[in-house]
């Protein structure tokens, strides 16, 4: 039996892992949220690991401050969770010989690139959120050797709060929506990312390091919204607008497509196209 601690246990990624857990009888998932385990408190983390009823071999860190715009005004909170929390987890994992699997973001890049970002490309965040996530990565890399950092983008699913569910909710009361068409990236179905994480554990990979993972393809937010309504057969008018027409507190990368060559090769995985995964997510959403 492999014992796996999950922080941020009520978020959408952790919820997707819960959906998969029933198929893995040899994996014992221990789900915690901040009320059970505060990653910003190192003493609490060490006490948890010291008193855990099961010997934990992996920790999947799904805990994060992800309110991108609010982070511009709540930088201390974002630093505490995304940077200091990641450091604390790394220190606790080092002390207790635990492999850390950490989820990061495409927001570590400035978005000025024109080709998919490699793991080795310079990380130059343009928002507080991106900066705190990058510093969290750096803390982990400095402390641990046994870690996987998965940078992902545009995460969505039938669980939690995300772009797909927001679009569907807005369409219940509106006949027309405007969506930004000059920011390009790739949606990631959280269940696909969950499968990757479980595969990393079950395959017993020791190819530690930083990896990029999203679904396959490159689209704008406008394209994503249009596809959501097409696949869901929702009649609504979508207008394409520019970033300047939709100002936000935090700057977003104009281009944040991630190159997945490394993860395909090192972890021997196939990655679904974004539209195929969207269909699955919408089907699952209808069946909730």
Counting as low any pLDDT under 50, the low residues of the chain are none
Instruction: Decide if 162 contacts 154 (C-beta within 8 A).
Output: no
For 109-149, the pLDDT digits (tens) are 999 999 999 999 999 999 999 999 999 999 999 999 999 99
> pLDDT above 70 covers what percent of the chain?
99
Q: Where are the domains of the chain?
A: 2-160+186-216+256-272
Task: Please provide the DSSP assignment of 69-86 as one string.
Answer: TGGGT-HHHHIIIIIIHH
Q: What is the pLDDT of residue 53?
A: 60
pLDDT mean across residues, the chain: 96
**Residues annotated as catalytic (active site), given as ranges:** 129
**Cβ within 8 Å of residue 125, ≥6 positions away:** 107, 108, 109, 110, 131, 133, 134
CATH T-level fold of 2-160+186-216+256-272: Rossmann fold (3.40.50)
**Cβ within 8 Å of residue 112, ≥6 positions away:** 254, 255
Q: Nearest to residue 256, comparing CAs of 209, 227, 221?
A: 221
Q: What is the pLDDT of residue 188?
A: 98
> Does pTM top 0.75 for this prediction?
yes
Burial class (CB within 10 angstroms; exposed 0-12, middle 13-18, buried 19+) of 197: buried
């Amino acid at each position: 039996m492999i014992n796996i601690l999950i922080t941020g246990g009520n978020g959408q990624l952790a919820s997707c892992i819960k959906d998969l857990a029933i198929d893995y009888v040899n994996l014992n998932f221990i789900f915690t949220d901040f009320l059970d385990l505060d990653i910003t408190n190192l003493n609490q983390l060490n006490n948890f690991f010291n008193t855990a009823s099961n010997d934990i071999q992996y920790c999947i860190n799904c805990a994060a401050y992800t309110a991108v715009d609010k982070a511009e005004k709540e930088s201390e909170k974002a630093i505490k969770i995304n940077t200091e929390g990641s450091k604390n987890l790394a220190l606790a994992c080092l002390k207790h010989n635990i492999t850390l699997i950490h989820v990061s973001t495409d927001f570590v890049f400035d978005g000025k690139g024109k080709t998919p970002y490699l793991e080795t490309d310079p990380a130059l965040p343009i928002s507080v959120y991106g900066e705190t996530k990058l510093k969290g990565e750096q803390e982990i890399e400095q402390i641990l050797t046994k870690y996987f950092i998965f940078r992902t983008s545009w995460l969505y699913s039938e669980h939690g709060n995300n772009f797909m569910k927001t679009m569907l909710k807005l369409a219940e009361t509106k006949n027309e929506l405007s969506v930004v068409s000059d920011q390009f990236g790739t949606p990631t179905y959280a269940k696909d990312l969950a499968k990757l994480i479980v595969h990393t554990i079950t395959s017993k990979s020791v190819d530690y390091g930083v990896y990029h993972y999203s679904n396959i393809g490159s689209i704008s937010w406008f394209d994503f919204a249009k596809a959501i309504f097409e696949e869901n057969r929702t009649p609504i008018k979508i207008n394409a607008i520019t970033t300047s027409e939709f100002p936000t507190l935090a700057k977003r990368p104009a281009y944040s497509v991630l190159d997945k060559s490394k993860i395909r090769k090192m972890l021997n995985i196939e990655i679904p196209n974004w539209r195929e995964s969207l269909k699955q997510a919408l089907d699952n959403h209808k069946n909730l």
